[in-house]
Amino acid sequence: MERINAEVFITVSKLGSYRKAAEKLGYTTAGISYIIGNMEERAGFRLFTREYGGVKLTPEGEALLPFMQTLFEYEQAVAEQMNRIKGMETGHIRLISFNTVIVCWLPSILRGFKETYPGITIELSSCEGPAKGIRMIQDKDADCGFLATDTADNIDLFTLRHEPDVAVVAENHPMAEKEVFPVSEMEQYPFIGYPEEEAPFVYQKVRELGIHFNQVMTVDNDYGNLSMISQNLGFGIYPRMIAENCRFPVKAIPIDNGSSTPISLGVRSYENGSLAARAFVDYVLERNLSGKLL
């Protein structure tokens, strides 16, 4: 091939549509079709096959996808380095985070980061479960992300703080007026939690503490959970800062075991990742003063 447009290939494969890829990248649909057609002609085989409502990768296209992702990352790194040499700070960061950090930290962090690096664009996506977030970073679907864990394989992880856990209950819950929610009494009340596969460290910690939840519901995002809790369908356990910033009618009660939730910033490779992602990691770490991001 004389010319491979890795960005177009990856975007079409993710969105499954020439039209959606064109809207995202600023092309026309005909332009996307022409680029893919040209790549297929030079490759000598089909990369995508049409199906109802869009397109999907052929087996040959699937085999090329990881190489296209690597090529695209190298192209971004080269472009960023060239711009840096010219005295410009540019780049693009695919950032993921769970909603607690999005609401409580990221507005301030991103405002300051954009003031420092106005040429770097950020694509922010919500990702609640740490297991899913780790997979996204490992699979190159995200450059870096805030994760509610302090352990992860095959990525670089920087633990920022351990946020004290609290029990969150509705205002009319039997424990709402208590000063402490004893672990020994938790199994008496309905509990609303996460699917275990998305927050395995939580359930591991629970088993270590000998807690037996009466789990009546699982919800895979913080605010869905808190909405259910506010209607007294059960209680939940959350980092203190989300309870303090919650607009639902709930109360936060300290837990007598002193447990906490780790909050970390993960990146696929600090040393070999993009300059933009490294700049973001450095910026966040520099702001982590006395364990509190301001």
- What would the DSSP string read from start to end of 36-84? HHHHHHHHTS-SEEEETTEEEE-HHHHHHHHHHHHHHHHHHHHHHHHHH
270, 154 Cβ separation under 8 angstroms = no
Tokens, residue 20:
């959606």
Pick the CATH number of 161-261 from 3.40.190.290, 3.30.1490.70, 3.40.50.300, 2.102.10.10: 3.40.190.290
Among candidate residues 258, 261, 252, 262, the one with its CA nearest the CA of residue 166: 252
CA 90 to chain centre: 22
Pick the CATH number of 88-154+262-293 from 3.40.190.10, 1.10.3720.10, 3.30.200.20, 3.40.50.1360: 3.40.190.10
User: So what's the pLDDT on residue 251?
Assistant: 92
* Residue recorded with tokens 């092309």: 27
User: So what's the pLDDT on residue 289?
Assistant: 45
Rounded Cα distance, 279 and 290, in Å: 21
193 to 27, 53, 135, 181, 235: CA distances (angstroms): 43, 36, 21, 17, 8
Tokens, residue 61:
């296209």
What percent of the chain has pLDDT above 90?
Answer: 49
Residue 126 is which amino acid?
S
* Residue recorded with tokens 């807690």: 211
> What is the pLDDT confidence band of residue 201, given thresholds at 50, 70 and 90?
low
Higher pLDDT residue, 75 or 201?
75
pLDDT tens digits, residue range 82-111?
777 665 567 889 999 988 899 889 999 999
Domain 6-84: top CATH class: mainly alpha
**Averaged confidence pLDDT in the chain:** 87
* Residue recorded with tokens 């633990």: 159
Domain with CATH 3.40.190.10 in the chain: 88-154+262-293
Among candidate residues 26, 18, 23, 76, the one with its CA nearest the CA of residue 47: 18
Residue 177 is given by DSSP the state T
254, 180 Cβ separation under 8 angstroms = yes
Rounded Cα distance, 98 and 198, in Å: 12
Tokens, residue 85:
């040499």
User: So what's the pLDDT on residue 207?
Assistant: 77
pLDDT tens digits, residue range 123-170?
999 888 888 899 999 998 999 999 988 889 999 999 998 888 899 999
Domain with CATH 3.40.190.290 in the chain: 161-261
User: So what's the pLDDT on residue 86?
Assistant: 64
Give the 3-state secondary structure of residue 221: coil
Residue 291 has pLDDT above 60, yes or no: no
pLDDT tens digits, residue range 234-244?
998 888 888 77
| Count of C-beta atoms within a 10 Å radius of residue 167 | 27
Residue 14 has pLDDT above 70, yes or no: yes
Rounded Cα distance, 64 and 74, in Å: 16
> What is the pLDDT confidence band of residue 200, given thresholds at 50, 70 and 90?
low
Residue 97 is which amino acid?
S
* Residue 124, beta-bridge partner list: 95
User: So what's the pLDDT on residue 294?
Assistant: 45
Rounded Cα distance, 286 and 162, in Å: 17
What is the greatest pairwise CA distance in the chain? 71
User: So what's the pLDDT on residue 96?
Assistant: 97
Residue 39 has pLDDT above 70, yes or no: yes
Residue 47 has pLDDT above 90, yes or no: yes
DSSP 3-state percent helix, strand, coil across the chain (nearest 5): 45, 25, 30
Mean pLDDT of 44-64: 92
130, 197 Cβ separation under 8 angstroms = no
